[in-house]
Amino acid sequence: MSSDRSASSIAPAHPFFSNRWSSAATLVVAGALQTLTFSPFHFWWLGPVSILLILLVSLPLPAKKLFTAGWLTGVGLFASGATWVYISISEFGNTPVAVSVLLTVIFVAGLALFPALAFWFWGKLAKVSAWRRLVLFPAIWILGDWLRGWLLTGFPWLYLGTAHTDGPLAGLAPVVGVHGLTLWIADSGAALFAAGWLIIRQRHAGAAVVAVIALIPWLVAPALNRVQWTEISTEPTSVAAMQGNIPQQIKWDPDFLKEQIVTYLGMTNPYWDTDLILWPETAIPIPQDEAGKIIEHIEENLGDESTLITGIPWHGYSEQTGGFTWHNSITAFGNGEGIYHKQKLVPFGEYVPLENVLRGLIGFFDLPMSSFTPGPENQGSLEVNGASVMPFICYEVAYPDFLARNSVSADLLLTISNDGWFGDSVGPLQHLQIARMRALETGRYMIRGTNNGVTAIINHKGQMTARIPQFERGVLTGEVFRASGSTPYMSTASWPVLTLALILIVFVRERVIPKN
């Protein structure tokens, strides 16, 4: 009879993976291995290995058990790669340790529901056919990632493709974007599984064909990395970016506001004639309508051809809301102009869901400046010495399609952040790697300014040309170059990859589900 009768008929589980506890542990470990592919570890080759382990456990499972398999995978991924939120909750949110641990556990368990739902859907599409499951798995993984990056403002973090800023698939990023890279990593893991199964059954020719097909992108991508998708100007723009390393504990303390401003002004004194001067997110920790004297001082000292860009909260009447509101903003002064209001706000850090219920319960729900309003869509870029500079504030740089869509007409990209919220964890280094992937996808230089690291200049290939290490006060100087034109990914965003995933689902899914 057809092998479609049972999911285990084509992929019988090894006794180790059939055991309830060892299989659960394997899924958690497989999820955790993905964290090791990202900065600061950079073991990108563990991506396909992780997928292989997931398939060894989950492919033979009955459909009704796939939800749990996905959830365990998610727990491994997010417990290892995203628990840096504990630092902002506990250390800077003035929240008791027990409550901080509980909130972190809820955070991880909640995020793990995304792969759980994806795996549940996977089981619905292919209840009994193992080969259909194998073909569908990369598509399911991608759709789970996409949903996680969109639903409830999204958490577009820990995408497997991001690991390849320094990996062999980097050359594909300007063509297919981070989701396309993730799709092929998942395909590679599935190919490893298929090739192993074929070898066990003495089907060596089939295994060789699968291996060759799986290797093609890994061989083509390095060649694509030499392609210049955008035209890079030969005329440099000089940059001076200030990393103040202001302790997070005093960042919003009124007694230290003057000291912070004096720090940044003092660091800038030797650089007033630089083309572009960058201060990080909320470097001026008072709203622009109260910072008149500071702004006047900046404009009086700037050179005739110089622009200073800084993070500064905005408070005023908003036509968008029909009242007075707060925005987390970035503004250009001097030989430049423009203001940008952050659109992608961080839950609890910049706004509080169910505010009327949660405000006042614990310190974490009353963080300073947690009452921002999202900025309007389709905001223009900043103008700097005749160049179009598209800014992104902190978390926004993690949204691949959002950044690609808003950068089409930009000459340069710029992002500011305050990763001090996450202390000496892997979070800020992951954030830097994400910014590098965005520069690679768009073929544009990116200037990254942070409070306590990592401040960096990233070129159009996603490589850092200059940086200041974390937790050091310093000034980063260097040059950036304008870019024109678009990469293929900027023209299409992730739609070709998502469309391919949907096509696979339509044509590979089981049309008729046999009765049990």
Catalytic residues: 281, 342, 394
Could you tell me if 318 and 324 are in contact, meaning their C-beta atoms sit under 8 angstroms apart?
Answer: yes
- What is the torsional sign of CA 198, 199, 205, 209? positive
Contact (CB, 8 A) for 240 and 274: yes
Q: Minimal CA–CA distance to 153: which of 365, 342, 314? A: 342
* Interatomic CA distance for residues 188 and 202, integer angstroms: 21
- C-alpha distances (whole Å) from 362 to each of 97, 173, 429 are 12, 42, 28
> 409 to each of 331, 435, 484, how far by Cα in Å?
19, 18, 8
Distance CA 369, CA 329 (A): 12
Q: Position 234: which residue type?
A: T
Question: Is 242:268 a contact under the CB 8 Å cutoff?
Answer: yes
312: its two tokens: 């500064």
Rg (CA), the chain: 24
Burial class (CB in 10 A: 0-12, 13-18, 19+), 355: exposed
Tell me which DSSP letter residue 171 carries: G
